[in-house]
Amino acid sequence: MSGRKLDLLQGTLDLIVLKLLRAGRANGWQLTQSIQATTRGVLDVNYGSLYPALRRLEARGLVKAEWGVSENNRRARYYELTATGRKQLAVERDAWERFAAALGAILEAE
Amino acid sequence: MLRGWLVRLRGLVAARQERRELEEELRYHLDAETERNMAAGMAEEEARTAARRAMGDLLVARERAREAYGWTWLDHLGQDLRSAVRGLLRDRGVSAFVIVTLALGLGATAAVFSLADQLFLRPPEGVVNPGGVRRLYMRTHFTQDQSPVIQPWVWCAAATAVDSAIAPRARTTEYVAPDTVLMGRAGASGYVNASYVSLGYFRFLGIRAAWGRFFAADENRMDRPEDAHVAVLSYALWQQRFGGDSTILGRVVELGHREFTIIGVAQRGFSGTDLDAADVWMPLASVPPPPAGGEWYRNWRAGGPRLVLLVRADTGTSDAWIAAVATAVYRRGEKANVDVEPDTTATALTGPILASLGPSLTPAPDVAITWRLIGVALIVLLVACANVANLLLLRGVKRRREIAVRSALGIPRGRLIRQLLAESVLLAAAGGVAALLMALWAGRVLRAMLLPTVHWASGGVLDHRLFVFGGALTLAVGVAAGVAPALRASRPDLTEALKSGARNGGGARSRLRTGLMLTQVSLSVLLLVGAGLFVRSLRNVRGIDLGYEMNRLAMGYVLWLTPDGAYDGAYAWKHSRAIGETMTQVAARLSRQPGVESAAAASYMPMRGYAMMRWFLEDGRAVPRLANYDPDAMSVAPGYFRTTGLKLLRGRTFDDGDRKGAPAVVIVDETAARLYWPGKDPLGQCLRPGLPTPSSCMTVVGVTEDAHLQNVIEAPRVEIYMPLAQFPMGAASVIARAAPGEIGTATAAIRRALREAFPDAEPPYVTTGADLIGGQYRPWETGTALFGVLGLLALLVAAVGVYSVVAYSVSQRTHEMGVRMALGARMREVAALVLGRSLVVLTAGVLMGVGLALALGRLVASLLYGVSAHDPLVMVTVALVLLAVGLLASVVPAWRAARVDPVKALGVE
């Protein structure tokens, strides 16, 4: 696996973003850094996907955004999980785990 | 959920701000990335480049983010429209043709709609609850020949009786239908439409006074007409003639030479309840009596004026009950209608407030023509739609590859259909705008042609309902004409379409196109047959020899009114001789004027005579009657025959020797000569006028050709001419023969001369021969213009339709043609193959059209003259014309097919 980057399954990016925001508010750049750091570079999120995903989540009311000041004193847009988002994260996480379990079962079956 | 929508809405409303925010956010991201790279040891420039590379296309991100907001369909719509415009501009010729076709089809329909709207749909303006108002009609029979008749009026006495009979359960009001009356004095005068109304008229209709008041009870008492000289103006007349003058109340105006005090102005928009708008209302009690003497006068004395009866039933009272009660009143022997014997056959009928929807045995010509117009306009619209559908279908097929490529690139089918529909709706919209302009113009022309007497006070040709109607129609046509082509085009067999454009255009699709072509051809035949029938009718009617050269004649007459404003027929008779002499001098003066070749005095104008007299032969027997009519008689001065162009067949015309005291002479027409003295020489025979008993002999000195008395179309009548100097007969007319192109000079000269010679008479009535009878040709002219223009239009459209279908099928069969040529077929054979196929379709279409025309012929039969609705000449001519035009339209593509180069055709893919 090492050295190769994975394409994200459709919808997984949403789950990842929700999960990362669970820890607290963050801006887009911080999110990309977190993803890279957490997955040790295995997942490299396309910026072209991240921002649309953020807008999508915002439109669905799962996250809310506001302008804030970054560590280096710049204006940046910060995202935060809404109550709905928190609920949705639970649902999607559950669904994901079931999916992963099912996939694992298939792959491990002889 | 709600929040999501709010965000989306905000996204839409603040789209621009949104974009700015996104850009700022992405810029921050870029900067942050750059800083990180620099922290990792890169130079600033390098760090920024790397960051940008890593970020990819900012634009893509931006667009995708925008998509996430859910407003893409709006973007797509814009794209679809833009691409539609591009597509339409690419095929400019086709687009222009489609737009013109649609404009004509839609425009014709919209113009007709505006007419039908006025006739059948729009209730009289201002009337409260017009649906509750009924008109009462009476069906009865003429005593003379028992022919049935439906009258929209009853005598006043009957109206009063009906009023009291139905009073417990319904209310009524009565009025005299609007008619022209002179307003003001000679000079500053003009004609207005006046209606005499009963006391409760305005209250009955729910009309309020814009100014002043309506009639009071003591101003409308039938027994005190002298108290009833008050008038109410329409708002329109008040504005136009009196400039909305607020001091109008109390002013005295002259109406029909009687003075009326204006007491009010009716509410804005109200112009009565008839198609003929009323300008002024007066109390029923002020109706002037008809000219003294005659049957009509006696009837009027007995029954009062003829009134239109309006009824408003209380709730729960049916139309049937009202009709039954009124019928009982009519049959009880009230003076319901004095023209009819007290009859037990009279039946009351009810009709809606719109008179054009009321019961009638023979609908008025404007109503009859409007119904047919609606049919014709719809046919044209159908032809136009068929053509547009066909052209769009062809375009769609032409673009199959483009569509297949798009489809292969993953554009969903729905989107494709939307794009194609966008094109057809856009086309329809352009056509609709053009149609609106056309409707504006055509609507005016139609109104002028069909309803010239209507004031059209209420609204122009275009009102909001026409816009709604036109808009809905346009959209419907756009979708209808576009949906089939779009569905077809969006379902291409991908691999096939991508592989080749050559061997397609298979079964179902070509059947649809052939069907559309058949429709166009057959409907064009239908319209052209109509045009042919009207052209022949018009030719027949115009070909009728009236005797006179009406187009060269200008004429005028004078009349006198009694002190109370009625036509004074007795005056002219009493002063016959003096008037005759003055008129002869007028004629002499006129004939010396430039622009006038000759002039003559006469008792009546040509085509306006109607003085029936009894005549006797020498032995005292009455002359034989033609179709129960006594002969018409008129007095003419010498020169009348030369002036009017009436040809003398035998003997001599009158001369100055035929004066008072000289032997009495008379000139008869051909029919009289043949009828009265069969087999004998009419010259020298004796005719004795009955006054009322046979008087002394008048000697026949000449025979003229037959002339028409009143109508272009009329059964033969007998006319007897007497010298004006011997027998003046209330001579009050003068006729001038104008030099070619000088008709205007002649009418002006007549008007001037009559004013000078008869200062005490009414302003003279002056007209031209052409105007006098012009209206009589109108039904056929209208029909010819209508069917002719629309028929040619349909023909043109059908020709283009045929051309495009054949051309397309040829282009689709290039491959096949190439194979045939390669196998040794000759050019002529290939051309014949193409022509043969279109000939089959054309023949089928023509046959269908002729069949339709035969089946629908009876709908126009009543409007034709001297030609059967199944006229074989017209049918065959139209069929041949259509075949010829259709073949001509097929020749070009057939020729192209014949010139296919087999090598190219086979190698083309």
CA distance A100 to chain B (A): 27
Q: Which residues of A touch B (CB under 8 A)?
A: 27-29, 32-33, 46-49, 51-56, 58-61, 70, 72, 74-77, 82, 84
The answer to whether residue B64 neighbours chain A at the CB level (below 8 Å) is: yes
B322, B350 Cβ separation under 8 angstroms: yes
Please report whether residue A72 resides in a domain: yes
Domain count, chain A: 1
Please report whether residue A61 resides in a domain: yes
Tokens representing residue B846 in the block: 């023509």
The C-alpha atoms of residue B204 and residue B474 are separated, in whole angstroms, by: 41
Closest CB to B56: pick one of A32, A46, A55: A46
> What ipTM did this prediction achieve?
0.79
Closest CB to A75: pick one of B2, B24, B35: B24
As a whole number, the mean pLDDT across chain B is 79
Say how many residues make up chain B: 909
Say how many residues make up chain A: 110
Percent of chain A with pLDDT over 90: 1
Q: Taking CA atoms, what residue in A is nearest to B64? A: A52
B7/A51 touch (CB, cutoff 8 Å), yes or no: no
The answer to whether residue B50 neighbours chain A at the CB level (below 8 Å) is: no
Query: Mind spelling out the 3-state secondary structure of B635-658?
Result: EECCCHHHHHCCCEEEECCCCCCC
Closest CB to A61: pick one of B1, B31, B35: B1
Q: What percent of chain A is helix, strand and coil (3-state, nearest 5)?
A: 55, 15, 30
Chain B, 255 to 314: residues with Cβ < 8 Å from chain A are none
Which stretches of chain B drop beneath a pLDDT of 50?
1, 335-341, 456-459, 497-507, 909
- Cα B541 to chain center, whole Å? 20
Residue A97 scores a pLDDT above 80: yes
- From chain A, pick out residues whose CB is under 8 angstroms from the CB of B26: 47, 51
Determine the structural domain holding residue A57 and report its residue range: 12-108
Residue A12 scores a pLDDT above 50: yes
The C-alpha atoms of residue B572 and residue B227 are separated, in whole angstroms, by: 30
What's residue B410's pLDDT?
Answer: 62
CA distance A102 to chain B (A): 30
pTM: 0.62
- From chain B, pick out residues whose CB is under 8 angstroms from the CB of A52: 61, 64-65, 67-68
CA distance A103 to chain B (A): 29
**What is the interface size between A and B, counted as CB pairs within 8 Å?**
76
State the CATH number of the domain containing residue A34.
1.10.10.10
Please report whether residue A59 resides in a domain: yes
The C-alpha atoms of residue B702 and residue B604 are separated, in whole angstroms, by: 20
What's residue B363's pLDDT?
Answer: 64
Q: Taking CA atoms, what residue in A is nearest to B27? A: A76
- From chain B, pick out residues whose CB is under 8 angstroms from the CB of A51: 22, 25-26, 61, 64-65
- From chain A, pick out residues whose CB is under 8 angstroms from the CB of B70: 59
pLDDT in tens, B216-230: 888 888 778 888 899
10 Å CB burial of residue B429 (0-12, 13-18, 19+) is middle
What's residue B361's pLDDT?
Answer: 72
B61/A47 touch (CB, cutoff 8 Å), yes or no: yes
Taking Cα atoms as reference points, which of B339, B234, B273, B333 lies closest to residue B135? Answer: B273
Q: Of A33, A36, A50, A55, which to mutate for an interface test with B (greatest number of B Cβ within 10 Å)? A: A55
A72/B32 touch (CB, cutoff 8 Å), yes or no: yes
**Domains of chain B by residue range:** 2-70, 130-353, 365-542+776-907, 550-775
B64/A75 touch (CB, cutoff 8 Å), yes or no: no
Please report whether residue A5 resides in a domain: no
CA distance B908 to chain A (A): 44
The answer to whether residue B56 neighbours chain A at the CB level (below 8 Å) is: yes
What's residue B449's pLDDT?
Answer: 67
B26/A60 touch (CB, cutoff 8 Å), yes or no: no
**Interacting residues of B870 by C-beta distance below 8 A, sequence separation 6+:** B854, B857
A61/B22 touch (CB, cutoff 8 Å), yes or no: no
- Cα B803 to chain center, whole Å? 33
What's residue B861's pLDDT?
Answer: 81
Q: Taking CA atoms, what residue in B is nearest to A82? A: B3
The C-alpha atoms of residue B276 and residue B851 are separated, in whole angstroms, by: 40
B68/A53 touch (CB, cutoff 8 Å), yes or no: yes
CA distance B5 to chain A (A): 7
Q: Of A5, A10, A29, A56, which to mutate for an interface test with B (greatest number of B Cβ within 10 Å)? A: A29
Tokens representing residue B703 in the block: 């025979």
The C-alpha atoms of residue B443 and residue B456 are separated, in whole angstroms, by: 12
Angle of helix B769-812 versus helix B814-822 axis, rounded to 10 = 60
| Number of neighbouring beta carbons within 10 Å of residue B855 | 10
- From chain B, pick out residues whose CB is under 8 angstroms from the CB of A46: 56
CA distance B84 to chain A (A): 29
- From chain B, pick out residues whose CB is under 8 angstroms from the CB of A56: 68
The C-alpha atoms of residue B876 and residue B517 are separated, in whole angstroms, by: 20
- From chain A, pick out residues whose CB is under 8 angstroms from the CB of B33: 29
B7/A53 touch (CB, cutoff 8 Å), yes or no: no
